[in-house]
Amino acid sequence: MKDTLFDLTGKTALVTGASRGIGAATAGLLAAFGAHVIVSSRRVDACEAVVGEIRAAGGSAEALAAHIGEIEAIDALYTAIDARGTPLDILVNNAAANPYFGPMLDMSLAAYDKTVDVNIRGYFYMTQQAARRMRERGGAIVNVASVNGRRAAPGQGVYSFSKAAILSMTEGWARELAPHGVRVNAVLPGLTDTKFASALTQNPDILKPLLRAIPLGRAAQPDEIAPTIAFLCTPAAAYITGASFAVDGGIWLETPSPPTVSGERVGVRGRRFALRRARGRAERRPLTLPSPPSKLGGEGSRIYFTAFCRKLPSSAR
């Protein structure tokens, strides 16, 4: 079994946004695992360059251009794949759009539409078409989202919530397609040194505070994101679906922790804090709750919840 955990021999994989960056690195790794890779992006010449690198390394690949923001282009892409006569086994939704960096108050509807057309509608339609082809024999779909899908980044409001939509979409598709043997997962890259992220990585005033917030202290390289994506496409991930994997250098560790009492994290069985406004600032008040029933449920849950609410000051209810 060890020899086949990462073996994709005989599989066909489609990777969008694969002409550079994370997509190109993923395409190369899937080919190294034995898959025939369809390298797709808007520019066929850029795709052909990646195909050339894959073939030079001994892999199998071909280029098919498509703009994921256009439904007609997606239809043409799948028509071309169907004409090959080989079933599609793997889809990596990696193409993305982020045409605007700045306040949402100043964002044009044209920039909004471009972001949503690719990051939400494009991902949905790509997945729907792939799933229709995979449901008879199974498959794997990986959506490349972003850590911004968990916490919106300044200047990237619409991009962030489009990535949040991808996380929810991943769970919805995973639930629906599980009975058909199709696994759907998401990978959330953190700051990565790509042309796509150049608005962040090429501006020292933006980059320096970002790097300070990353425990590993640096941006990722595309070939550090690709292994997680490729792993989710292999037999080694056969029991994983509906999951989201952050590959972010530990930046999520910087999220504020829950309130604590004497250095211990507050839990349901411990003391709770009620926040209230007093003299223009927040004041914490420790609450003591009865120990919860050993098994919460039915009447026990109702009684415990009622006891908790009665402990709260009226301003916090």
Q: Specify whether 123 is catalytic.
A: no
What are the tens digits of pLDDT across the range 217-256?
A: 888 899 999 999 999 999 999 999 999 999 988 887 765 5
Ordered by start, the domain boundaries in the chain are 2-254, 260-316
- Which one of 112, 125, 159, 304 is the catalytic residue? 159
Neighbours of 219 (CB within 10 A): 20
Question: Mean pLDDT across the chain, nearest whole number?
Answer: 83
Contacts from 215-218 at CB under 8 Å and sequence distance 24+? 215/249, 215/250, 215/251, 215/253, 215/254, 216/249, 216/250, 217/249, 218/249
**Which tops the pLDDT comparison, 258 or 197?**
197
Quick one: which of 130, 137, 95, 92 has its CA closest to 114? 95
At 121-141, the pLDDT tens digits run: 999 999 999 999 999 999 999
Closest CA to 228 of 145, 119, 135: 145
| % of the chain at pLDDT higher than 70 | 76
- The superfamily (CATH) of domain 2-254 is NAD(P)-binding Rossmann-like Domain (3.40.50.720)
For residue 221, with 0-12 CB atoms within 10 Å meaning exposed, 13-18 middle and 19 or more buried, which class applies?
Answer: middle
Could you give the angle at which helices 123-134 and 157-177 cross, rounded to 10 degrees?
20
pLDDT in tens, 60-86: 999 999 999 999 999 999 999 999 999
